[in-house]
A and B are shown apart, each in its own frame.
Chain A
């Protein structure tokens, strides 16, 4: 350890101490208190308020209630931004339409060692189960569509790293078009659930009935499954859209460089 590193270490520690002192002495003017603020109080009191159902979302999960009910349009736009990003990636990679299996004389990619492959075989189904449970319980426990979708996408990514892209295409029959369809199904489902209340003359993305709107009842439970109205369907659709979108992105990114050069004729 030379003197330069000592100086860096001491000055970093000093910076931390000074910052903490400034915050403790009230230098930031407002330090969030440990008491619950009025807005948070509103969400906590109303998201599962069975006595006064004016503002309720039929879900004990305040975060999912906010994401898909109180500020649902926001989340819809977030989903469309993600959709556009994937569209951009697909458009960039449009030059490589050729299937890898068409190449006969190319060396077969063998992937990583047997230890990595065996542990991936054990972990992969676990990732799928965890992501499904996060998605299907998103309206009851922490989690939701986006979280579950990104957990799901880790699975194929692990397979690409441990085995190879060719393995996914030949043995698991993964293809770009399949994931495009799957992602579109998720998005169409979201749009359908958003538009459903319009049929009864109510407003877009309405979850539970409001007294000032025309009567529109979406059941809070499909016996025996409690779905919190539309929240469950939004979560599952978002799960499909995000999971398939990320997987599609990884499939495109893992196209070997040689393939590009061959197709582009460089």
Chain B
């Protein structure tokens, strides 16, 4: 396959997923809209879940997706609903 070994291919996708995660983290920190920040955080978790899957840790993926994408995001949204949506300053 174009002279690229399977391991290199998988590691490249992993690097891509982790870079995407870093990008989402940056956006989550910069965002003044807290709802958007929570969604970006979920995107970061999804990118990390893909990386875990590619690094052959399916057990981690199952717990990570449920907690980091599902439970964590909903609890954050619930907390935001108790306060203001927009960050000041």
B62 pairs with A143, CB closer than 8 A:
yes
In-complex Cβ contact of A154 among B22, B59, B61, B71 (8 A): B71
B59 pairs with A147, CB closer than 8 A:
yes
Binding site for A on B (CB under 8 A): 7, 22, 26, 58-59, 61-63, 66-67, 70-71, 74-75, 77-78, 82
In-complex Cβ contact of B62 among A142, A158, A254 (8 A): A142
B75 pairs with A150, CB closer than 8 A:
no
Nearest CB of chain A from residue B54's CB, rounded to whole Å: 14
Complex contacts, B66 vs chain A, CB 8 Å:
147, 150-151, 153-154
Once A34-B7, A142-B58 are accepted as A-B contacts, the answer to whether A150 and B67 lie under 8 Å apart by CB is: yes
B70 pairs with A154, CB closer than 8 A:
yes
The complex places the Cα of A161 from the Cα of B84 at a distance, in Å, of 18
In-complex Cβ contact of B59 among A12, A16, A63, A158 (8 A): A63
Q: Is A144 an interface residue (CB 8 A)?
A: yes
A253 pairs with B75, CB closer than 8 A:
yes
Q: Is A232 an interface residue (CB 8 A)?
A: no
Report, as a range, how many residues of chain A touch the other chain. 20 to 34
Main secondary structure of the interface of A (DSSP, over half): helix
The complex places the Cα of A134 from the Cα of B59 at a distance, in Å, of 10
Nearest CB of chain B from residue A134's CB, rounded to whole Å: 6
Complex contacts, A161 vs chain B, CB 8 Å:
74, 77-78
The complex places the Cα of A246 from the Cα of B71 at a distance, in Å, of 9
A150 pairs with B78, CB closer than 8 A:
no
The complex places the Cα of A143 from the Cα of B67 at a distance, in Å, of 14
In-complex Cβ contact of A143 among B22, B59, B77 (8 A): B59
The complex places the Cα of A144 from the Cα of B60 at a distance, in Å, of 10
The complex places the Cα of A12 from the Cα of B78 at a distance, in Å, of 32
A244-260 residues with Cβ-Cβ distance < 8 A to B are: 246, 253-254, 257
Interchain residue pairs with CB less than 8 A apart (11): A142-B62, A144-B59, A148-B62, A150-B67, A150-B70, A150-B71, A153-B71, A161-B77, A253-B78, A254-B78, A257-B82
Nearest CB of chain A from residue B28's CB, rounded to whole Å: 14
Q: Is A146 an interface residue (CB 8 A)?
A: yes
Identify 20 new A-B residue pairs, CB closer than 8 A, beyond the known A63-B59, A153-B71, A154-B71.
A12-B26, A34-B7, A142-B58, A142-B62, A143-B58, A143-B59, A143-B62, A144-B59, A147-B66, A150-B63, A150-B66, A150-B70, A151-B62, A151-B66, A154-B66, A154-B70, A158-B74, A161-B74, A161-B78, A253-B75
A14-37 residues with Cβ-Cβ distance < 8 A to B are: 16, 34
The complex places the Cα of A107 from the Cα of B62 at a distance, in Å, of 39
A147 pairs with B62, CB closer than 8 A:
yes
Nearest CB of chain A from residue B63's CB, rounded to whole Å: 4
Q: Is A157 an interface residue (CB 8 A)?
A: yes
